[in-house]
């Protein structure tokens, strides 16, 4: 081998090494950031308490089961304590503000003597559970599992933002709601 071939081979190896280093640099930086928690935000995206420590809707001590009325929907369930009329109206307005996504959400009011607002399912406690906090709001998934819990003084816009994010991240299946799938109507089946 001549000197020019040896020089070209060494230059080619250096070029390859530089290219590998350049391509692996983002992976190394990301690993250091993840392990050292450098530059990663500590904030949360949900405004409510994630996965509150309450049972599924089927296990709530209600005087009558609420599952058939809200089956398959996301559920805004709230305890109607001292501010029953105010909370009922507030969550009704939030429900209306959801627009085209509103049919995917049901409202379950537990307690209170007032007449139900449009689209509201009313149930009563058979016995007050130990985990109950008055005037609290819970967001339940379509299976009745609690996803988020909110304190009584929560901002409705924060709840709407969380609910909108959940509905966007969990789109309705095309075979639900009487929509067509592959040219066939499945609502009647």
- Please name the helix (run of DSSP H) or strand (run of DSSP E) that holds residue 184, with its range, or none: strand 184-185
**pLDDT tens sequence across 95-120:** 999 988 889 999 999 988 888 888 88
Kindly report the CA angle at 28 between 25 and 33, in degrees rounded to 5?
125
**Rg (alpha carbons) of the chain, rounded to whole number:** 27
Ranges of each domain in the chain: 1-43, 49-169
Fold classification of 49-169 (topology level): Glutaredoxin (3.40.30)
Specify the pLDDT at position 176.
53
* DSSP secondary structure string for all residues of 43-110: --S-SSEES-S---GGGS-BSS--HHHHTTSEEEEEE--TTHHHHHHHHHHHHHHTGGGGGGEEEEEE
Alpha carbons 79 and 76: distance in angstroms, whole number: 10
**pLDDT tens sequence across 146-183:** 999 998 889 999 999 999 888 888 887 554 554 443 44
Phi, psi of 46, deg, nearest 5: -90, 145
């Amino acid at each position: 081998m001549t000197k020019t071939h040896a020089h070209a081979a060494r230059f080619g190896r250096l070029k390859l090494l530089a290219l590998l280093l350049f391509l692996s640099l983002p992976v190394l930086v990301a690993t250091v950031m993840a392990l050292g928690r450098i530059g990663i935000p500590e904030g949360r995206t949900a405004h409510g308490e994630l996965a509150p420590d309450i049972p599924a809707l089927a296990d709530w001590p209600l005087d009558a089961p609420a599952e058939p009325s809200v089956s398959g929907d996301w559920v805004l369930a709230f305890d109607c304590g001292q501010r029953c009329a105010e909370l009922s109206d507030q969550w009704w307005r939030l429900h209306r503000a959801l627009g085209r996504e509103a049919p995917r959400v049901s409202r379950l009011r537990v307690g209170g003597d007032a007449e139900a607002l449009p689209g509201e399912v009313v149930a009563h406690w058979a016995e007050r559970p130990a985990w109950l906090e008055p005037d609290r709001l819970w967001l339940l998934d379509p299976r009745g599992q609690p996803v988020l819990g909110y304190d009584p003084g929560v901002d409705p816009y924060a709840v709407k933002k969380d609910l909108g994010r959940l509905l966007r991240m969990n789109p309705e299946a095309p075979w639900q709601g009487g929509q067509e799938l592959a040219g066939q109507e499945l609502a009647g089946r």
